[in-house]
Structure formats: C-alpha cells, structure tokens
C-alpha cells in the first residue's frame, strides 16, 4: 500500500492522472521479481541490501567491481556489464554520480569498450527507474528511448542521505506514468518511506534540482551566519540553539549544524555531487529564462571550496570558505 495519505484511486483504461500522465498495462512486481541495480556507491549499496532482505532476486554492476562484494556475499549476482543487468531484470534501477556516468551506462561509451549500453538490452514490458540526479532534458531523452522499446521509464531521484538508504526511508520524486508507479510500489516501499508523483518524465528531476538548490543555500547561509557570530567572539552553538527554537529552524540543521560546529565533514552527501546538482539547476534556469542570483552566488562559494579540497568531503564543507 502506498504511504501517500490521499485516497486510493482506481486507475482504468483512458484515465489520466497528473500532467501528461499515461496509463499502462499492469505489471506484477513483488518479492522474487528480478531487480537489476547499477551504481553501488553511498546510496546504491544499502539500497541493494534492502532489496535482498525483502526477497527480490538482485543482479548488480559497478565500474569498480569490488564495491559489489558485500552484496554478492549475501546473495546478489555480479554481472559483467550494465547490459547484462538490464537483460535479466523485470525492474532495472540506476543510481550513478552524474549525467556522463548515466549516459555511459545506457549508451555504452566506456573507454574499455566492454559496455555496449544497457538501453538496448532492456526487456520489453520491463520497468526502468533512474534514481540518479541528472537534467530533466536527459530524463526525457531516456524516456523517449525507452518508449521505443516498450519499456516503462520513471525518473525518480531520491533524498534522505545514506542513513535514509540504510533504513529504507528514502523519499522519491517521480516523473512518469501513474500506473507504472503503482506497479512498482513493492520495490519503492522497500527502499523508501514516501514517493511523490510529480508529473510526466522530467518532473522528478526538476523538483530534485530545485530542492537541492534550497539545501545548498540553507547550509551556505548557516556557514555565513556562523562565520559572523564566531568573528564577534561568540560560540556558534549559541546561534544554532536559538535557530532551533525560531522560524529559521530547518531540518537540515539537525544533520549539518554539528558538522559545521566540529569542522568535520565525512561525505554523507559529497560536495562534488552537490556542486554538480547546483550546476544542473543553474543550467535549467538558463534554459527557462529564470535568474537565480542567490543560487549563482552560492555556486561560486561552493566552487571555491571544491577547487581547494584535497579529499572527498560532505557539502557542509562549504564552511571551509570562511575557515581559510
């Protein structure tokens, strides 16, 4: 059952739900179904473990094969290529770092020449879910390619961090067919606590970029405010204590404020990925003719910190801009 509190909707032939939504044939997905997962980073590995615990048959692939070892040890099959994963999957999931990585998985432009591309191997009537964060334009390009193969596609980026992935409490922002979302709920319910149908393909990516832009701005603003307070000789903890009891309180403070106060930035959401997402948001704004002055200024700050970083840090490391 969907965790969405709205009343259940009976979906029948010809019914449209959401902007541009289409209705597809019902698919029977559940424990025992074959799920393929490409991308075994901070998010992908715990997602894979949860799928295995729930009884799904899991086939995985990652460019660095050693990252699959913990999954293989508990029952996952390690494929030799993304297309091998796609060919064996009822539900195919990708969660990779950026648009070039996703294009490489789907269209096969790896330098070693061993990947012919997963798109051509997807089974007709299968479901493909991309949970990477990429551009809405790329999401719609993938949707068009899938439609030509009778494959259902959902762009479904996630939020919730590594802790959400580990607990199966991610939140999915989904663009695509309403019936397909319903069909794949047994998979989504293992990985997440909520999912939102936001419109046609590309809508999920648009909302994700907008949301991450807000998160980046919130942490940047907190870092600026802490710099101001500490320069005045006050403890940063005092600012955070007041914020938590005011209208300025934000959920991100619970997670990121301790990192900024300690000056420790283990990568739960790496700076390199937030920087990439901010760039995608600014590119989208340019395409739409929207000016984002605060976003552009924050992007410049994050860019400076990223350029100076010598290790993989969380995006809370934007605080280093004022600690230099």
Residues with a known catalytic role: 208
Paired tokens of 224: 């600026």
- Find, among 96, 81, 94, 80, the residue nearest to 35 by Cα: 94
Helix (H, G, I), strand (E, B) or coil at 160: coil
| Degrees to nearest 5, angle at CA 140 with 135 and 145 | 125
DSSP code for 15: -
Q: Which two tokens stand for residue 228?
A: 């101001």
The answer to whether the CB of 192 falls within 8 A of the CB of 163 is no
* 160 in Cβ contact with 215 (< 8 Å): no
H helices of the chain, in order, are 44-53, 69-72, 82-87, 99-107, 136-147, 161-167, 178-183, 185-191, 203-231, 236-243, 251-262, 271-288, 293-308, 320-323
Q: Hunting for tokens 């070892």 — which residue is that? A: 69
Please check whether residue 75 is in contact with residue 58, taking contact to mean a CB–CB distance below 8 angstroms.
yes
Structure tokens at 240: 């955070």
Cβ neighbour number for residue 283 with a 10 Å cutoff: 13
CA neighbor of 17 nearest in space, from 140, 144, 199, 201: 199
Pairing assessment for the beta strands 170-175 and 158-159 based on DSSP bridges: antiparallel
Place of tokens 């870092």: 223
Q: Residue 194 pairs with which residues in a beta bridge? A: 171
């Amino acid at each position: 059952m969907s965790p969405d509190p709205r009343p259940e909707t009976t979906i029948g032939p010809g019914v449209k739900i959401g902007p541009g939504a289409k209705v597809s044939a019902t698919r029977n997905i559940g424990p025992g179904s074959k799920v393929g997962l490409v991308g075994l980073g901070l998010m992908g590995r715990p997602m894979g473990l949860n799928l295995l615990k729930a009884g799904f048959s899991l086939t995985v692939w990652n460019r660095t094969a050693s990252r699959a070892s913990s999954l293989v040890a508990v029952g996952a099959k390690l494929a030799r290529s993304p297309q091998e994963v796609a060919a064996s999957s009822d539900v195919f999931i990708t969660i990779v770092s950026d648009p070039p990585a996703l294009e490489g998985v789907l269209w096969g432009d790896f330098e070693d020449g061993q990947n012919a591309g997963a798109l051509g191997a997807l089974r007709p009537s299968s479901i493909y879910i991309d949970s990477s964060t990429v551009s809405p334009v790329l999401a719609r390009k993938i949707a068009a390619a899938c439609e030509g193969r009778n494959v259902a596609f959902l762009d479904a980026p996630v939020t919730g961090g590594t802790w959400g992935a580990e607990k199966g409490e991610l939140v999915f922002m989904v663009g695509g067919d309403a019936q397909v979302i319903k069909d794949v709920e047994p998979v989504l319910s293992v990985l997440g606590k909520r999912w939102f149908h936001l419109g046609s393909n590309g809508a999920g990516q648009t909302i994700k970029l907008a949301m991450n832009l807000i998160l980046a701005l919130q942490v940047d603003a907190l870092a600026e405010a802490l710099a101001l307070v500490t320069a005045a000789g006050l403890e940063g903890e005092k600012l955070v204590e007041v914020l938590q009891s005011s209208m300025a309180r934000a959920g991100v403070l619970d997670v990121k404020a301790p990192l900024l106060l300690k000056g420790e930035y283990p990568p739960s959401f790496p700076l390199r990925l937030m920087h990439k997402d901010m760039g995608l948001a600014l590119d989208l704004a340019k395409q739409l003719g929207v000016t984002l002055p605060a976003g552009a200024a924050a992007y410049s700050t994050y860019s400076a910190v990223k350029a100076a970083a010598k290790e993989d840090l969380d995006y809370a490391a934007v605080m280093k801009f004022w600690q230099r």
